[in-house]
Amino acid sequence: MSSDATAAAPQETAAGEPTKGQAPSHGHSRWLSHHFDTSEQQLYSNKLGMWIFLLTEILFFSGLFCAYAVYRRNNPQMFDDGHLFLDTRMGAINTAVLIFSSFTMALAVRFAQLSQRTALTIALGITLACGFVFLGVKYQEYSAKLEHRLLPGQTYYMECAGVWAQRWSAWLSGEELPEYPVRTREALGFHPKEHHLTEEIEKHRIQQYLNAARGPAADVHDLSQEQKQQIKNQLGLSEEELLRRANNLGSFFGIYFALTGLHALHVICGIIALTWLFVRSLLHHFGSDYFDPVECTGLYWHLVDLIWIYLFPLLYLID
Amino acid sequence: MATATRSDELSDFDRAARSGRVLNYLNHDKRIRSWVFTLDHKRVGVMFLASVVASLVLGAAFAVLVRMELMYPGLYFSRELYHRFFTLHGAVMIFLFVIPATPSAIGNFVLPLMLGAKDVAFPRLNLFSYHLYVIAAVFFVITLALGGIDTGWTFYAPYSVQTNTAVATALAGAFLLGFGSIFTGINFIVTTHTLRPKDMTWMKMPLMVWALYATSIIQVLATPVLAITLVLLVAERLLGIGVFDPAKEGDPVLYQHLFWFYSHPAVYIMILPAMGIISEVISVHSRKHIFGYTAIAWSSVAIALLGFLVWGHHMFMSSQSPLVSMIFSALTFSVAIPSAIKVFNWIATLYKGSIHLTTPMCYALIFIFLFGLGGLTGLFLGALATNVQVHDTAFVVAHFHYVMVGGALMAFIAGVHHWWPKITGKMYYEPIGRITALVIFIAFNMTYFPQFIIGAQGMPRRYADFEEQIYRPEGVPYTTVDGAEMIGDGTGIPWIREWQIISSIGGFLFVAGILTVIVYLLYSLFAGKRAPENPWGGATMEWATPSPPPYDNFEEPPTARDPYDFSNLRYDANIGGYVRYEQ
């Protein structure tokens, strides 16, 4: 590092604005800014600044969590219905990926402090890869939602809502299930597999009604038509009620996309920061005398992870 | 930013060093990019100062248009146009002027100097927050070009979701300004924590630093909530996500809660740094140690924290439960305590002081008077029963302007005058400053006091035309707008029209006064006398460096002393300023 420092010192002065009476930077890291006296002071400042920034991030999301809480308290049924359309397995994979990436990020900070440059580069590379895996899974989830027109508010496909309501109703009455409209299928390229998936969700939905009505013993497949009709009457599920609830899914996906979209945006920002760290680690910028960016990005990455750990149960694991 | 050091191209710095000319932060490098990409907190502060004053002029122009409409409703403008005028007046003044004015412009310049530091903790972030300000201003200009916005500056849902005016661009502007404000806050908090000299303990910091610190706490804790609220509102408009839309099971009152969770603390973002300026100006210009230093310092923090607990008083009339309203009302009253502590301490500082009626001092005295009046009328609004009568009337407008214009703007002008010699190195012409202060004081009261009266009589805010404002004495004939001859039936409230006209004339005079200040300050840049190092005899560290300061702020590291001990400072007529005598 000492050879680096002497080589870089004049360069630094040239890059900065002309300063008068600036103390020569002997014995300092080449990354020490002119307005700090010591590297410790700079590290303390950077970390304090980062912690306050994370505080603002928490408050940023807290507004959204607050909206979620109010929305869910006012419309519990909407969340109950909506979460069935989320893929818990995908969400769980993403949770595991992020937690693992937090671990490799923590290792990266440690390697930077110990000046273990190869290990640092590898740890940063793994963290970066995890970020991309997370986004890849997210892409899968989002494109499935797009195909099923499970989108926020006015972009939500109302025709589908009607069909879902009819299908639920038909299932309960023992009639033949109406098909999805041809237009939807052709325009969106419905796959039989996903069609099946939707049916599974519908069955699960009815199973839930059963559980609520008469305990978990009964199985949806064993029901007679009379029993289904009876459940339908018991729960008071009129056509209008089913349609209203299917319509409400658009609002559920409003808050779903707001929460996960904003989180995904933070993951993208984290990936940009990690890429920058990765390049700098290849250039051997970090060592025991200067690891501020690694530590600060690490703090940010842990927060992004933490927010997901709250989002996952709040959206996917409602029951 | 980057200065070429190759031998064939000499920088301004090198040339000046060879010729022996004294260099300061203003003239060490004169290229435009050395300003646009500067990392120097002083230059960022100066750029902010120029920008917020430009926004002030724009906001004042809209104020003039609003007052024209209120003077003769329907004569000059259509109703739709008027709705845009008052919205843009509010949005420009709040987001582009008052919130950034004192912390970002004056605070940026003086905070590191007062701490004896070379810069703020994160100079790049500081510059970035200025760039965000400029981008946000561009968004506001786009909003104007798209025909403005008519929601009122509060953007209440669901109207802001339904209107066809340019809401999205205005929201984007406010969002970016919020982020700039957060970055300034982070910067100031870290600077205060880490860049103080070792011998300056928390209780030896100048009160301006305390005020800026408390302001930064609010900026950091409240602004993110506004940011997410605006994001949700834009998403509501563009995608219809439904959170604030009752048709989609959403809750419009939730918008009000989230909005005021930021916007009530935001009024303390506006007033707290103003109070910091007043603490400095009162003490320095009455040549007396500040009275109750500890009380003023902690009351800043108390206001910052209590300010977070009172947002519900904006929703007394919005389906809030009576119990919640009572709690918010009680908490609102509690903010009066730290505010009053400050006012009493300032008055106690003045008592038996050697008061120099300089222009900053004139504005500081105006501040105490107007802020006192504004604060006391705030209690009417915080009380549940009287609030029902004056809710959403001109009374609220008058209260808000007494606190924000009479408070924040007057303190800002006081601060600009106080630090003008340090910022520019030039003295403004003192007599014209005092005369203008007097004119502004009279014009201010002429503008806003009538609004207390008509507000209490029931004149709603934001209404241009109001049936009852036309008094029709019984039996007296009058002509309607359509030209029909009618006989008066005794309806209407007397004097509302007259008060509105008085208020408008006062408003025009007030704007003229503000423009005068801008003109004579700019004139002083060319014709003003050279400023000495310490023209007012301040004991804080920014007065211990040349005016204007060198690039690195201090030629040698300054010594931290009691910031309000003036005993060793004597006036020297030869240099026109104060000099420190060591005993």
pLDDT tens for each residue of B189-199 = 999 999 998 88
Write the CATH number for B90.
1.20.210.10
ipTM: 0.90
pLDDT tens-digit map of B216-250: 999 999 999 999 999 999 988 888 788 888 877 78
- The answer as to whether A255 is a domain residue is yes
Give the Cα separation of B110 and B146 in Å (integer): 38
Token pair for residue B216? Answer: 């930064």
Q: DSSP string of A196-218?
A: HHHHHHHHHHHHHHHHHHH-TT-
Report yes or no: B117 at the A interface, CB cutoff 8 Å.
yes
Look at residue B210 and tell me whether its pLDDT is greater than 50: yes
Count CB neighbours of A176 within 10 A. 7
- The answer as to whether A280 is a domain residue is yes
Residues 244-283 of B with CB under 8 A from A: 245, 248-251, 254, 258, 261
Same structural domain for residues B75 and B186? yes
Mutate: best of A11, A52, A252, A255, partner B, most B CBs <10 A: A52
pLDDT on residue A11: 37
Rg of chain A, C-alpha, whole Å? 27
- The answer as to whether A64 is a domain residue is yes
Look at residue A146 and tell me whether its pLDDT is greater than 50: yes
Choose the closest CB to B240 out of A16, A55, A152: A152
pLDDT interval class at A294 (50, 70, 90): very high
Q: Are the Cβ atoms of A155 and B240 closer than 8 angstroms?
A: yes
Q: Which domain holds residue A143?
A: 59-319
Which residue matches tokens 């927010």? A307
The C-alpha angle with vertex B544 and arms to B539 and B550, in degrees rounded to 5, equals: 145
Amino acid identity, position B475: G
Element (H, E) at B571: strand B569-572
Amino acid identity, position A37: D
Same structural domain for residues B312 and B251? yes
- The answer as to whether A214 is a domain residue is yes
Rg of chain B, C-alpha, whole Å? 25
- The answer as to whether A31 is a domain residue is no
Same structural domain for residues B399 and B282? yes
Give the 3-state secondary structure of residue A269.
helix
pLDDT interval class at B89 (50, 70, 90): very high
Same structural domain for residues B29 and B42? no
Q: Are the Cβ atoms of B28 and A17 closer than 8 angstroms?
A: yes
Give the Cα separation of A209 and A73 in Å (integer): 20
Report yes or no: B189 at the A interface, CB cutoff 8 Å.
yes
Same structural domain for residues B10 and B100? no
Choose the closest CB to A35 out of B119, B258, B555: B119
Same structural domain for residues B7 and B27? yes
Report yes or no: B228 at the A interface, CB cutoff 8 Å.
yes
Mutate: best of B44, B193, B241, partner A, most A CBs <10 A: B241
Choose the closest CB to B194 out of A44, A61, A254: A44
Give the 3-state secondary structure of residue A284.
coil
pLDDT tens-digit map of B325-379: 999 999 999 999 999 999 999 999 999 999 999 999 999 999 999 999 999 999 9
Which residues make Cβ contacts (< 8 Å) with residue B28, sequence separation at least 6?
A17, A18, B12, B13, B16, B550, B551
Q: Which domain holds residue B491?
A: 38-580
Mean pLDDT lowest among A2-16, B152-166, B522-536: A2-16
Choose the closest CB to A56 out of B220, B249, B552: B220
| Domains: count for chain A | 1
Please report residues of B whose CB lies closer than 8 A to that of A48: 189-190, 193-194
Same structural domain for residues B79 and B8? no
Report yes or no: B38 at the A interface, CB cutoff 8 Å.
yes
Q: Are the Cβ atoms of B228 and A61 closer than 8 angstroms?
A: yes
CA distance A262 to chain B (A): 10
Give the Cα separation of B250 and B259 in Å (integer): 16
Please report residues of B whose CB lies closer than 8 A to that of A64: 228, 232
Choose the closest CB to A60 out of B11, B228, B250: B228
Q: Are the Cβ atoms of A255 and B243 closer than 8 angstroms?
A: yes
Write the CATH number for A190.
1.20.120.80
Q: Are the Cβ atoms of B5 and A14 closer than 8 angstroms?
A: yes
CA distance B1 to chain A (A): 6
Q: Are the Cβ atoms of B228 and A63 closer than 8 angstroms?
A: yes
Element (H, E) at B395: helix B394-403
Residues 291-350 of B with CB under 8 A from A: none
Choose the closest CB to A153 out of B28, B240, B254: B240
What global pTM score does this model have? Answer: 0.86
Q: Are the Cβ atoms of A56 and B223 closer than 8 angstroms?
A: yes
Please report residues of A whose CB lies closer than 8 A to that of B182: 53, 56
Count CB neighbours of A272 within 10 A. 12
| Domains: count for chain B | 2
Same structural domain for residues B116 and B12? no
What does the DSSP 8-state code read for residue A288?
T
Instruction: Work out the average pLDDT over B381-404.
Output: 94
Same structural domain for residues B469 and B503? yes
Cβ proximity of A178 and A170 under 8 Å? yes
Average pLDDT across chain B, whole number = 91
Cα torsion B232, B237, B243, B245 to 10°: value is 150
The C-alpha angle with vertex B430 and arms to B425 and B431, in degrees rounded to 5, equals: 160
Same structural domain for residues B26 and B54? no
CA distance B552 to chain A (A): 7
Same structural domain for residues B10 and B95? no
Cβ proximity of B299 and B344 under 8 Å? no
Q: Are the Cβ atoms of A15 and B251 closer than 8 angstroms?
A: no
